[in-house]
Amino acid sequence: MSAQVDSVPKTLPGRYYTDPEIFREELDRFYCQTWVCVGRTEQVRNPGDYFLREIARENIIITRDRDRNIRAFYNVCRHRGTRMATDPEGSFAGRIQCPYHGWTYALDGKLIGAPHMDEAGGFCREEYPLNRVHAGAWDGHIFVNLNPNALPLETQLADLPQKFRPWRMGELRLARRIVYDVNANWKLILSNYNECLHCPLLHPALNRLTNYLGADNERPQSTYIGGAMGFRDGAQTMSLDGERRRDYLPGLNAEEREKVCYYSILPNFLLSLHPDYMMTATLWPAAVDRTGIIAEWHFHPDEMGKPDFEANDAIDFWDITNREDWKICELSQAGIQSRAYQPGPYSDRETLLHAFDQMVLAREREGREGKRR
Amino acid sequence: MSAQVDSVPKTLPGRYYTDPEIFREELDRFYCQTWVCVGRTEQVRNPGDYFLREIARENIIITRDRDRNIRAFYNVCRHRGTRMATDPEGSFAGRIQCPYHGWTYALDGKLIGAPHMDEAGGFCREEYPLNRVHAGAWDGHIFVNLNPNALPLETQLADLPQKFRPWRMGELRLARRIVYDVNANWKLILSNYNECLHCPLLHPALNRLTNYLGADNERPQSTYIGGAMGFRDGAQTMSLDGERRRDYLPGLNAEEREKVCYYSILPNFLLSLHPDYMMTATLWPAAVDRTGIIAEWHFHPDEMGKPDFEANDAIDFWDITNREDWKICELSQAGIQSRAYQPGPYSDRETLLHAFDQMVLAREREGREGKRR
Amino acid sequence: MSAQVDSVPKTLPGRYYTDPEIFREELDRFYCQTWVCVGRTEQVRNPGDYFLREIARENIIITRDRDRNIRAFYNVCRHRGTRMATDPEGSFAGRIQCPYHGWTYALDGKLIGAPHMDEAGGFCREEYPLNRVHAGAWDGHIFVNLNPNALPLETQLADLPQKFRPWRMGELRLARRIVYDVNANWKLILSNYNECLHCPLLHPALNRLTNYLGADNERPQSTYIGGAMGFRDGAQTMSLDGERRRDYLPGLNAEEREKVCYYSILPNFLLSLHPDYMMTATLWPAAVDRTGIIAEWHFHPDEMGKPDFEANDAIDFWDITNREDWKICELSQAGIQSRAYQPGPYSDRETLLHAFDQMVLAREREGREGKRR
């Protein structure tokens, strides 16, 4: 009650960051019902190439079939349930074989071999394909959707493909991947990404390159939130010294060369588009208070082919900044777990967070109404 | 529903491998109500010798009293509940003394000393013996039963003593013990032990010695399942090269010398009788998805006394094979935990597994009916 | 039933040491509703000095404000809930600043800075002070009380300040701190502290200095229990050899110089007053079967200033004894977790334990009646 006497918008109640039951519901709602970014098409360049991804405790195989379609399957043999692939990435020799009793599947999931099963009367091979998961791609980013009745990926992406076409993300290539393990709820990481009010105190290096008051936020959409920030005088990109050591990405116009776009594409994809490179982060909730983060730095292959190509100025800059962010998210998580925590007031510099909170509440309402029906 | 349209017998629903509540019930039903194999009589050769065993989270002392009876007790002092013995094995000096306040018990469990208790009016020493557990032995194997109303051990063993008399197991002695910690439900380990359909792919070394299609399975009994397998040409026992480096066990006839008997004696005893040695494994469920396994290799003392006695050919062979098995059981556990897992079809080579599953279900039904009554 | 046929008082049922729900209730009842000893005033000698203490999973800042009042706060920023201080002890530079967005509080908890909040209409700084916790001190010992409606500290301490005035505890200074992590319920540690029946068997070194039958216990009070023990011939204090290497504490009379007072001040403070030093221990329940213990040795500064000051004879003596005690408490915990555990009989040497058990039950009754009302 008394928490609502003033008119300032407030942070969410603590249970949204601490209650395992709400976490399980959010995991289902956001990670099992919608499209989740899992990686890049260059990870499955050739048929049979694959990588594994853990989504909401489900181990998923992402691969490419003989017709070059991207395919995703639950990593579960239809015979006795064995997990088949164990290396986090690799290449299948034209087929997926369970190591236990040798059941064998084509790259499109069809069962093509089941030793000694035909001796058993009534066995019908067609009934036991791998369990398929919807898969799709946008400009090099692979998405999967565990919901059997998934809407098309395009619906969820809305106008994003058009908005970011100039960056030609599909052409970019991975230079470095860093995996973080953060003791904080996934939403705290998203919230942290969506405001720069904390930049002066927490990120002195970043604050020298960009003006934290200069964020140009777009009106929140139903599946993403974000905005752009320009540079302070003298800076040309986000790097240790603000210098740009690579050509601009080839498709950008003058205006696009002078900003960084920071977008949170729900539920798990943080897309940071720089004038000369792309940083991505995908969030992997492991528990109500724990989230894995896969951060990647992608550059244009023309630049990567140059003998003096350098990426560490950008990678190290963000690695330092990321660690500062994850650390403060962990302290937020710790504090919010207190009985003393109450929703606190948002400033005008935190409007995207309030919008995100409202989305979370709206999805919760929809989910509960859906169940009631 | 649709999972039942074909007539093939199927594996159990996933909850039998993942639900902690079903696990607790099974632990009670199989490990607290029936006879469980805990070790060998040679571990308590003399009065006062003892070893500890954790059964269904209960720490049990197995010892031998002055009259040479094997005795088992909860490791709990009747004064303030303290666990008394802590070394996993050892020898009591004629009595069991609690290290806290010195309450002292005879090897048959009677309380014989309780310092300063007699000052308290109304204290009656006879009311505080150690909590006894039923204990018994079969041919050198010690069994205990936590059920106060246990049926005789002989009832549970049925015809096993007669069946395996020729191996004279009571004479054999331990050469090596290896303890494994496996992230899989105990039933998956039993299932793995009861079929060799997986041998060609998983155990190439084993498959060179024995024909996986040659299993001669006995009709499943209510307390055990098993069968025998012969050797391929040139092999004489299960060892790294199939050579037999020890005399045949003394009581075996020609037919018994040419096979290995693999028996699962419920709930926890895997008995592998070879022409020249015995391998045993006991299963110790620690959680729904975790099981300790104590594997032991026993040989005839006449052989062990020979200067050129060798055991590593047999131990290493099975240690390698065991690790291959435990690894695949862990992958089964991981896969079955998926929402995508559904009961899968058994082949004709997996009939013992189906029989075991049916036993598990039958005991569950009995248990629930027992409660209802 | 049958457990009650004899007239001997008995230990508590096992659930009081194993049930997480009872643990949570006790944590609330004893650690969140009453005064808990957290440290010493010398830890916050100057304004801004602080240390952190985890109480019932709540992280509390204990500090001293500009007016030299001792203050305690939940370590939770009122903006977005962030934990602000992370070093276990240190000194604030005149104010407490949250490292996330820079909200800043005076040492008395008032919010004095909140960047960009004034831009938001309707924000009222006075509504967001730090969450205060009651704090007080007795002769150098700091206590806090998480209950907003706490009774005065003096009420809980009753006659203790008068009883122990001669030891002039406020003058003593810390020489050594040892932190232990014990796998036992907090009440088992209290019980262990309150009887010496276990001394002959468990503590042979201690038993040479003091006669375990010579405890002079005070009648149990509602907030503390304890008593005194004299020395055996030749011993002058508790130390490795019974020798006293320091002057008597300055305020003691002849009778007070010849005993050690052992008091358990509920819920968490074990106070051991020796003729020449003070040992304290505070208990920090972490789980139903796990307790942190902070033991400290305090001496008179006059002695500590002497060039030949020695403390190890006392510290090592108790460190050895403590470890013996914690080990046996862990064995008690392990045994009590057994299904075989039943309440056991107390001797006349364990009357304080029975009194403590009755307090625990009485508080439980009060708590439940309070809820019902």
What's the confidence (pLDDT) of residue B6? 58
Q: Are A88 and A284 in contact (CB under 8 A)?
A: no
How many angstroms separate the first and last alpha carbons of chain B? 31
CB contact under 8 A, A201 and C83: no
CB contact under 8 A, B335 and A84: yes
CA distance B288 to B24: 8
Contacts of B197 in chain A (CB under 8 A): 101, 115-116
Give chain A's residues under pLDDT 50.
1-4
Give chain B's residues under pLDDT 50.
1-4
Tokens found for residue A310: 């350098």
CA distance C295 to C22: 26
CA distance B9 to A282: 42
Residue A83: which of A105, A55, A63, A61 has the closest Cα? Answer: A61
What's the confidence (pLDDT) of residue A6? 58
How do residues C157-166 score in pLDDT, each as one tens digit? 999 999 999 9
Which residues does B171 contact at the CB level (< 8 Å), separation at least 6? Answer: B140, B250, B300, B301
How do residues C207-248 score in pLDDT, each as one tens digit? 999 999 888 899 999 999 999 999 999 999 999 999 999 999
Q: What is the DSSP string of A337-359?
A: TSTT----B--GGGHHHHHHHHH
Distances in whole angstroms, Cα of residue B92 to Cα of each of A19, B48, B50, B247: 50, 5, 7, 37
DSSP annotation of C345: B
Query: How close A55 comes to chain B (CA, Å)?
Result: 11
Which residues does A240 contact at the CB level (< 8 Å), separation at least 6? Answer: A205, A313, A316, A317
CB contact under 8 A, C7 and B84: no
Closest Cβ–Cβ partner in C5, C331, C347 for B82: C331
**In which residue are the tokens 């290396």 written?**
A87
CB contact under 8 A, B201 and A75: no
Considering the entire predicted model, what is its pTM? 0.94
CB contact under 8 A, C82 and A332: yes
Strand order in the sheet with C111-113: C95-97, C104-106, C111-113
CB contact under 8 A, C201 and B102: yes
CB contact under 8 A, A100 and B198: yes
Closest Cβ–Cβ partner in B191, B340, B347 for A119: B347
B to C CB pairs, distance under 8 Å: 91
Query: How close B33 comes to chain C (CA, Å)?
Result: 14
Give chain C's residues under pLDDT 70.
1-6, 120, 372-373
C-beta atoms surrounding B14 within 10 Å: 18
What's the confidence (pLDDT) of residue B116? 93
Search chain B and give the residue with CA nearest A100: B198
A52 φ/ψ sector (left φ>0, alpha ψ -120 to 50, else beta): beta
How many angstroms separate the first and last alpha carbons of chain A? 31
Contacts of C99 in chain A (CB under 8 A): 201-202, 328, 331
Q: Which of C60, C82, C118 should be substituted to probe chain A, the one whose Cβ sees the most A Cβ atoms within 10 Å?
A: C82
CB contact under 8 A, A6 and C127: yes
What's the confidence (pLDDT) of residue C362? 95
Closest Cβ–Cβ partner in A100, A116, A124 for B348: A116
Tokens found for residue C324: 């013996």
Contacts of A335 in chain C (CB under 8 A): 59, 75-77, 81-84
Strand order in the sheet with A111-113: A95-97, A104-106, A111-113
Q: Are B130 and B105 in contact (CB under 8 A)?
A: yes
Search chain C and give the residue with CA nearest A200: C101
Residue C210: which of C246, C234, C245 has the closest Cα? Answer: C234
CB contact under 8 A, B127 and C6: yes
Which residues does C318 contact at the CB level (< 8 Å), separation at least 6? Answer: C238, C272, C279, C295, C297
CB contact under 8 A, B122 and C331: no
CA distance A26 to A369: 15
CB contact under 8 A, C58 and A340: yes
What's the confidence (pLDDT) of residue A371? 73
* Secondary structure in 3-state letters for chain B: CHHHCCCCCECCCCHHHHCHHHHHHHHHHHHCCCCEEEEEHHHHCCCCEEEEEEECCEEEEEEECCCCCEEEEECCCCCCCCCCCCCCEEECCCEEECCCCCCEEECCCCEEECCCCCCCCCCCHHHCCCCEEEEEEECCEEEEECCCCCCCHHHHHCCHHHHCHHHCHHHCEEEEEEEEEECCCHHHHHHHHCCCCCHHHHCHHHHHHCCHHHCEECCCCCCEEEEEEECCCCCCCCCCCCCCCCCCCCCCCCCHHHEEEEEEECCCEEEEECCCCEEEEEEEEEECCEEEEEEEEEECHHHHCCCCCCCHHHHHHHHHHHHHHHHHHHHHHHHHCCCCCCCCECCHHHHHHHHHHHHHHHHHHHHHHHHHC
Closest Cβ–Cβ partner in A14, A335, A348 for C82: A335
What's the confidence (pLDDT) of residue A373? 59
What's the confidence (pLDDT) of residue A370? 77
Query: How close B12 comes to chain A (CA, Å)?
Result: 9
What's the confidence (pLDDT) of residue A1? 35
Query: How close A12 comes to chain C (CA, Å)?
Result: 9
Search chain A and give the residue with CA nearest C79: A344
Report the b/e string of A97-113 with b at 16+ CB within 10 A. Answer: bbbbbbbbbbbebebee
